[in-house]
Amino acid sequence: MLTFNLLKKLAHGLVACTMMLLCIAPYPAKHMPKDKDNLQLTFSVLSDVHIESNNLETYRMYFKIMRDAKKMEGGNDAIVFLGDNTMNGQDIESMFFYGALNAVNPADEIIVASGNHDFGNGNGDYEKYEKRYINYNNFFFHHGIDKPYYYKVINDCYFIVLATESDTVNLMDISETQLQWLGSVLNEAQKTGKPIFIFNHYPVDYIDDYNYTALADVIDDYDNVVYFSGHTHNAYGYGSVSNIYGINHINLPKCTEHALEDYDGGIGAQVEVYSDEVVVRIRDFADNVWLDEYIYEIN
């Protein structure tokens, strides 16, 4: 059985070899926030990388995204991945996903949510994949978590990560225990008066057992919440930003494939926090450009 020290060395070797194969170009130019002088926090959000052991183009797109996210003027406070980071939950895929993140280091903090593909995509071995996910997050990023749902506080803002609790595919299985935990974390987060960010692979109403409002019933008691999800692979556009059960909801596409007309991939969000608003700017991280027609200001 591989030790994690050996695993890390293998991951770095894999990343180095892949970077040579991809003939990585120089880093892209720095990009600017909307209002640099008043910026309090900025972070990138991407979804559904789907690293696959035999898909070189996915590797190429993944590197492009991370390298661009790293070039925020003044630094990027965090980068968040919304799950389905791997295609099959294989060790080789996890090694590359986490090893590349560790090597490129695209932001000060790295937050990784889990998705159905990371947990076996319904193959019946949830506990094995859950343990692997927890071990990788703790080993590479020192998160110290013991469950797939957790939170971090960055610049006084709460980053809350949710997770399904069984080998579901299309719908999330969330326990009463996780819902109660979420409520207690939201209680603490609201005391700060800062925006609260929730990251979940599944949209807020994709809940198992037909109880579609179970998650929303907890969240909608709190102010200043912005909820990010992926999973659907819907191309970015109408309906991507919505209000579901009173919750500011942003659904992001698969970032490593076609996700918007005229764009091959690389679509994600850059979030900027100011004293009186949260600004969500959609960016093509692969071609290093802002999509100015998609900018959202949340008071």
Least confident span in 10-14, 157-161, 213-217, 277-281: 10-14
More confident residue, 180 or 260: 180
Q: Do the domain assignments include residue 12?
A: no
Q: In this prediction, what percent of the chain has a pLDDT beyond 90? A: 72
Over residues 23-72, the pLDDT tens digits come to 456 667 788 999 999 999 999 999 999 999 888 889 889 999 999 999 99
Half-sphere exposure of 289 (CA within 13 A, CB side): 7
Structural domain of 247 = 28-298
Q: Do the domain assignments include residue 14?
A: no
pLDDT of amino acid 56: 84
Split into its structural domains, the chain has a count of 1
pLDDT of amino acid 236: 85
pLDDT of residue 13 exceeding 80, the answer is: no
Q: Do the domain assignments include residue 77?
A: yes
pLDDT of amino acid 265: 86
pLDDT of amino acid 20: 46
pLDDT of residue 169 exceeding 50, the answer is: yes
pLDDT of residue 75 exceeding 50, the answer is: yes
How many other CB atoms are found less than 10 A from the CB of residue 43?
25
> Which residue from 151, 168, 7, 19 is spatially nearest to 93, judged by alpha carbons?
7
pLDDT of amino acid 242: 92
Q: Do the domain assignments include residue 40?
A: yes
pLDDT of residue 216 exceeding 60, the answer is: yes
Mean pLDDT, residues 190-208: 96
pLDDT of amino acid 24: 57
Q: Do the domain assignments include residue 9?
A: no
pLDDT of residue 10 exceeding 70, the answer is: no
Q: Do the domain assignments include residue 13?
A: no
Most confidently modeled of 19-33, 143-157, 238-252?
A: 143-157
pLDDT of residue 126 exceeding 50, the answer is: yes
Which CATH number belongs to the domain containing residue 119 in this structure? 3.60.21.10
pLDDT of amino acid 1: 47
Going by their DSSP bridges, the two strands 41-46 and 78-81 should be labelled as parallel
Q: Return d(Cα 177, Cα 149) in angstroms, integer.
A: 11
Mean pLDDT, residues 105-112: 96
Q: Return d(Cα 102, Cα 10) in angstroms, integer.
A: 12
Per the DSSP assignment, residues forming a β-bridge with 290 are 283
What is the pTM (predicted TM-score) of this model? Answer: 0.92
Q: Do the domain assignments include residue 172?
A: yes
Q: In this prediction, what percent of the chain has a pLDDT beyond 70? A: 89
